[in-house]
Amino acid sequence: MKHLILAYLDPGTGSLILQIIIASIVGAFFVLKNLWKRIIFFFKGFFHIH
Amino acid sequence: MVAQKLAGSFRDPCGFLFLRNDILYRQVNNLYKDNYDYLIKSGLYKALVDTNLLIPHDEVDIDYAISNKVYKIIKPEKIPFISYPYEWSFSQLKDAALTTLQIQKIALSFGMSLKDSSAYNIQFLKGKPVFIDTLSFEKYKEGEPWVAYKQFCQHFLAPLALMSLKDIRLNQLIKNFIDGIPLDLASKLLPTKTRFSFSILTHIHLHAKTQKHYSNKQISKTKQKISKNSFLGIIDSLESAIKKLSWQPFGTEWANYYEDTNYTINALNNKKKLVSDFLDEISPKNIWDLGANDGLFSKIASEKEIQTISFDIDPAAVEKNYLNCIKNNDIYILPLLLDLSNPTPGIGWENKERMSLQERGPVDAVLALALIHHLAISNNLPLNKIAKFFNNTCNSLIIEFVPKHDSQVQRLLSTREDIFPNYTKKEF
């Protein structure tokens, strides 16, 4: 109940649904992007050291 | 003196702003106790304040409270001049959007999330955007979608996309829609090619369609879950979308003004010296430079460490001014968009939620250089009305009279009849 009181902003039903729809795509992209960044970081460090 | 609640601070039941003896305070209500304590104890408040992303505050005596729901009273650092998104240039709105997303990412790393993402929660302090609503943070609950996603798209993404991809003047729509530009309207106005951009397609076009489709439908909100990676993915996607949007401030009427005047270098230097001497004489605390163009004369005030609001009607001039301020790390100038013939009105509930220009005055001094001919001739304003305006707006005025024989005035008169017999130095 307390949480409902705090959420004074109407998030909009359509806006919540859209987030659910795009969640898996943007989530997967975000994970891959971070993975790619880590790979680049690793190789940059690797070549820098060696 | 009696405490007075601020007219624009009524939506959030967690607290409100009020003035007592002209000092601004924020009451934190008991309803927000858990979140306030978490904000402070988690280290999020310190992390944001240390990076100048959140306005710092002091906790003060609870006796200052003006309602019995009080948990704490805080006194935030003062913002010298409150400005609004419809007065910002493209890059100011873009920086405000990116600051909001940066704060959201930092908040998530501390287990909190922004419960609103209103553009009015950002102000410019010492040249940089800063978040001013200390009560906007709530504990993040894994699985819940971002409650402020719609508001972020309406307040930031839609206007920036319209300014960048359609017409820079469309930021004025924000003045008509106090909770941001409706996404169905943005979707209609944006060019067809934007449907081939994944971020604009999803966050604006599909968003608008989903809103319409579900406008009369009820869903079980408890069943709608997204993982934290997906939540972060949405923030990351919005950030990429905003970063990709750009606008080049070239080719408008005023963008190259100083390359097209009849001032010689010597005359311009003399004018600068004259302005500088006048400023030394009156030593104002703050200045409004009206018709500032890209801020050439505002810089003179800024060099004297005078808080200067640098107004101009041209989005290109304001943009150039802002980018220069960033480049030069100028902390005294705030460039803003203003049509002096139709100044910013009070908007929102009872026309009091967001202040008019006049309500934010008077100012110590006004600079009105190469301005009067635009008011008197382009806008048919009688000189006595102009004098009355300045009298209500400032304590001191540095004003330049541009005579009729000046080429800039001749240009204004070239396509119309001269119906201004009183526009003379004597009448001035």
Minimal Cα distance from A1: which residue of B?
A: B31
The nearest CA of chain A is from the CA of B248 a distance in Å of 29
Mean pLDDT (chain B) is 93
Of A9, A13, A19, the CB nearest to B226: A19
Contacting residues of A for B146, CB less than 8 Å apart: 11, 19
Give the per-residue pLDDT at B79: 96
Minimal Cα distance from B229: which residue of A?
A: A27
Hey, are the CB atoms on A30 and B149 less than 8 Å from each other?
A: no
Q: Is the pLDDT of residue A2 over 50?
A: no
pLDDT tens-place string over residues B147-179? 999 999 999 999 999 999 999 999 999 999 999
Helix (H), strand (E) at residue B269: helix B265-282
Hey, are the CB atoms on B229 and A33 less than 8 Å from each other?
A: no
Q: How confident is the model at residue A8 (pLDDT cuts 50, 70, 90)?
A: low
pLDDT tens-place string over residues B360-381? 999 999 999 999 999 999 898 9
The nearest CA of chain A is from the CA of B145 a distance in Å of 6
Question: Which amino acid is present at B232?
Answer: L
A 18-47 residues with CB below 8 A of B? 18-31, 33
Give the per-residue pLDDT at A4: 45
Hey, are the CB atoms on B237 and A22 less than 8 Å from each other?
A: yes
Does B31 touch chain A if contact means CB atoms closer than 8 Å? yes
pLDDT tens-place string over residues B113-136? 999 999 999 999 999 999 999 999
- ipTM passes above 0.90: no
Hey, are the CB atoms on B233 and A29 less than 8 Å from each other?
A: yes
Q: How confident is the model at residue B225 (pLDDT cuts 50, 70, 90)?
A: confident
Residues 6+ positions from B223 with CB-CB distance below 8 Å:
none
pLDDT tens-place string over residues B248-305? 986 555 556 555 566 788 889 999 999 999 999 999 999 999 999 999 999 999 999 9
pLDDT tens-place string over residues B26-69? 999 999 999 999 999 999 999 999 999 999 999 999 888 888 89
Q: Is the pLDDT of residue A49 over 70?
A: no
| Tokens encoding B285 | 């605390």
| Among A36-40, B204-208, B227-231, the least confident range | A36-40
Count contacts between A and B (CB, < 8 Å): 115
Hey, are the CB atoms on A20 and B224 less than 8 Å from each other?
A: yes
Beta bridge partners of B235: none
Q: Is the pLDDT of residue B185 over 70?
A: yes
Hey, are the CB atoms on B214 and A7 less than 8 Å from each other?
A: no
For chain B, the 3-state helix, strand and coil shares in percent, each to the nearest 5, are 45, 15, 35
Residues 6+ positions from B76 with CB-CB distance below 8 Å:
B24, B26, B55, B56, B57, B132, B134
Q: Which of B352-368 are b and which e, b meaning 16 or more Cβ less than 10 Å from the residue's Cβ?
A: ebbbebeeebebbbbbb
Of B13, B150, B153, the CB nearest to A8: B13
